[in-house]
Amino acid sequence: MKTKFIFITGGVLSSLGKGLAAASIAALLKARGLKCTIQKLDPYINVDPGTMNPFQHGEVYVTEDGAETDLDLGHYERYIDVFTSQKNNFTSGSIYHRVIQKERRGDYLGGTVQVIPHITDEIKNAITSLAGDEDVVLVEIGGTVGDIEGQPFLEAIRQLRSDLGKENVLYIHLTLVPFMGTAGELKTKPTQHSVKELRSIGIQPDIILCRCARELEKDIKSKIALFCNVDADAVFSAVDVDNIYKVPLKFYHEGVDQKIAILLKLPAKNAELAPWEDLIEKLEHPSGEVSIGIVGKYVDLKEAYKSLHEALIHGGVANDVQVNLVYVNSEDLTRDNVAKQLKGLDGVLVPGGFGSRGVPGKVESIRFARENKIPFFGICLGMQCACIEAARNVLGIEGADSEEFHPDTEEAIIYLMTEWFDFRSQCMERRNKDSDLGGTMRLGGYPCVVKHDTKAWDAYGEENISERHRHRYEYNQKYMAAMEEQGYVFSGTSPNGELVEIVELKDHPWFLGCQFHPEFKSRPMRPHPLFREFIKAAKQRAKGKK
């Protein structure tokens, strides 16, 4: 079967949930036995979101091959359980960068470089490069129809229907149907205007998904179909749900996948949704609950910790408990109020981050968890803070710090390694404080060797693992022996032992920090081992309090 392409656009306003809609549709198609992948095209000029503030953009999701991408790729991987790569996320910046590089090399033979055809051709190449042996490629266009920076992407996907054939291309438009409380009715006019905007540039949607607070009545769907020139059975409700994992089931009951199959002439087969039904059953009927404190500095924007949030939920599913997330602003934590701020928690998690802001509060939360035997999980900077806390409060090294926060510190527990062996590129890597920020990070999947008879071994059950990284600084092994004497165990290292990947503490219910980001590899039907064991320890603590 020739690869089919589904393009998903959004109208009226942003944050309607195009990523979740794309992931849910892909999940349904996969459940029908089709091989799928998804791509995100972002109109912003940044080459990638790696240097963007989480308050503006949310989480930066890291792929196995080290690409810093949009958080929607996390939805894609979690919903269809595949690995994405750099080819799954392009921005205007990356597209223009490619075209300019070609122009500088003389690839255009001195011709005038223009948006059409050069930029649009580059976009089309990025899209079609995913075809391969995939049955269906879903492509989400970021932003909202009408945004000036999104016009080249829309023009490119308009052209692709002619290039690939009508039978191989489908357009889905996600729009808003708001409920006006004063009038007591749903309003279709925003949808009509959004589709009109889309049609003005030559794209006629085949399916309209209507984001709404309540199910659309048949007469409203018929009205939208009439004014937007789509089939009467091609308008679907995308109703607000209390759990994002219900979306595939909602779409299935609406008949979204069936309509797609008819329009694209896909093999007739019912979706096998038992795993999704089982997941929802576990989420809605847990046998208990735990409260987990997330101590970070981006707590005012939950999207900054999206994968972390989901991985904790997955860990709850594995342990048959509801996970209540308590976000604690690390900038507000002090030694005087930490007991009050963390009171009643069954577990404390300190996530990754960059910069010194909020670090003292993170260190205090780790001390409190260590001394009070509260299950603790430190990720990336969270592990580094745990090592700094150990050096200060257990080893008694008063000036213990990280070169990231204080470059001139004499007791650099965490430091910038200037040279190390990169197991992915199989060569020596070098960097210094003046190197470009992005170029000095370990990004993507790296191997780790797990030590037997440790908490890490209990979780993984295997010696050789691979996890994804996104960090610049490393643990200084100069302090390893002293920490080991105090009960710390370095249970995960790089294959040559040069880099510390996991550290844990003996004689504690569960105290573990990892240099990598395990949340990126957690799946709803396949929770990550470390999150599973962390929530298991939190569950045991919750039981002990009763």
Determine which one of 118, 173, 471, 517 is catalytic.
Answer: 517
Largest distance between two CA atoms of the chain: 76
Residue for token pair 């580059």: 122
Is the sign of the CA dihedral 380, 386, 392, 394 positive or negative? negative
Is 77 a known active-site residue? no
- Paired residues of 488 in beta bridges: 505
Q: What is the CA radius of gyration of the chain?
A: 25
Active-site residue flag, 385:
no
Q: Which two tokens stand for residue 123?
A: 């976009």
Question: Is the separation of the CB atoms in 296 and 378 below 8 Å?
Answer: no
Q: Is 517 a catalytic residue?
A: yes
DSSP E strands, 229-380: 235-239, 288-296, 321-329, 347-350, 376-379
Catalytic residue among 118, 519, 528, 533: 519
How far apart are alpha carbons 130 and 5 in whole angstroms? 10
| φ, ψ at 203 (rounded to 5°) | -110, 120
**Catalytic site residue from 380, 387, 448, 514:** 380
Helix then strand then coil, in percent of the chain rounded to 5, is: 40, 25, 35
**Considering only CA atoms, which of 501, 497, 499 is closest in space to residue 513?**
501
Q: DSSP assignment of 141-188, as one string?
A: EPS-TT-GGGHHHHHHHHHHHHHH-GGGEEEEEEEE--EETTTTEE--
- Catalytic sites, residue numbers: 380, 517, 519
